[in-house]
Chain A
Amino acid sequence: MTDPANFRLRVTFCKQGRLCMLSHLEIARALERAVRRAGLPYAISQGFSPHMKIAFGAALPVGVGGTCELFDLQLTRYVAPQKALAALQAASVADLMPSAARYIEHTAPAASVAFPKSTYLARLSALPEGGVVVPETVTVVRKKKEKTLAVGEYLLGELELALAADGDAGDASVVAQLRFKLESKPTGSLRPDVLLANCTDGAGNTLQAATITRVAQEA
């Protein structure tokens, strides 16, 4: 820690179960409230509208879960990471549970931009006959404007299809898993759920994804 007056705690948490359906803003609000319930000595911005100094990692779409989501919290004094984690866990609901906390350098890049490469795991309820066909482009509508994204710009490597072990994630209807890595660009990103919705099996049928989960975030 270069600046002892600066305690920047990076917390890892999961977004799972029904809470996958929360939006990024709803998650942000819920985490802020958990921090307050935990009684941590969080820092407050100075200005016209004082608010907690907290920053969130790259947003997940509504419906997509995560096992290694991040937020950075500025504290006004040192609290042992394990104690801070225990307090946060006691103040959190199971499906939005923190799993790790560590201090990071105050110069470290923000969690929202530090890890542009995300690995996703989609659990499929039907085995794609004849493999997965990935489209070359995907058309999305943003702010009423159509935009065509070249999948190759965002997709890193191949989609890996594997048969699911019995009772995958406690759900017997899951028969296969699809693992893929997407990179977000300063100009935009391709949502994992949108990519999947545009993929087909060999016969041209859409894939049936039971859940989509971000399982890794890398620099």
Chain B
Amino acid sequence: MPSAISTGASTPPIVEVAELAREFGSRRAVGGVTFSLAPGECLALFGPNGAGKTTLIRVMTTLTPPTSGTARIGGHDIRTDPDGVRHILGVIPQAFTSDPELTAKENILIHAKLYEVPAANRDALIDGLLESVELLQFRDNLVRTFSGGMRRRLEIARGLVHSPRIMFLDEPTTGLDPVSRTHVWEMIRTLRDKSELTILLTTHYMDEADKLCDRIAIVDHGKLAALDTPIKLKDSVPGTEIVEAEFEGASPDWNEQLRGLTGATGVTEHDDVVHITTHDGPATVAALMDLARARKVKVKKVSVQSTTLDDVFLHYTGSALRDAPQKATYEPSPFSR
């Protein structure tokens, strides 16, 4: 395992997680996680469903008690000062938590009162928040008439009502159509650019983690497999490009022969698709075609692509991200315990 679990910038961290673990019976959903976040940083917890991302978020946001370890959020310990943690956090849970029978304004208003936002500031604040998520014109509409994307944007606005220092977003675009997803991404980018907000988001979309965050933590089976910037994570995978190919009539030692191709740094195979990591994609493909012709192996398909987070995930966890959900263990609903 590489030493990719780094601790952000040199400024004092605003989030410090130390050996945090959460068990449900004999199953360990989060297993001794340690990392930290600098103020204003955006970190993505990237992994498949069931990897433990949501449980980790719930423990850090005081919704679920940890089994062992602890976390300090803005200097407040989640075990000893949960109320202090709640005051400085804005959380957008994975499931929609806005009330469909209330209007957009009422949803934010109720939360403003729960956070004791002064009455004199509320109306202007609510209008400003709704404007920032482009929902001002729907201020007095019932939330049950909103699309999933609108509802998510409303919840982001609601999460900002008390001017939190840290924002937790648990799979903010899951279930949204591509247009809504792009819209939410733009909002998160705007949040980052315009404020000093520290953002921790979970996702199983590699493009989301890649485009939005400064650093990415690869989460697998409740543990951090790697944590670094997207570029460094990709660089940590041997080879900068991937040649994907499918063959017919290959001998058993075919993959061994492929390791000797020009520029090749590694060969893996999943579902009859061979992945060759390489420093020089075109040269590797040319050598591959020559070798196949010489060995009378039919090349059914070949393509060259840059290293993606999926390759990073594969490299660090030994399984492709798309395979991982099937392996994911069942995480009980908090309401069934």
Q: Do A and B bind each other?
A: no
Q: A residues within 8 Å of B by Cβ? A: none
Q: Which residues of B contact A (CB under 8 A)?
A: none
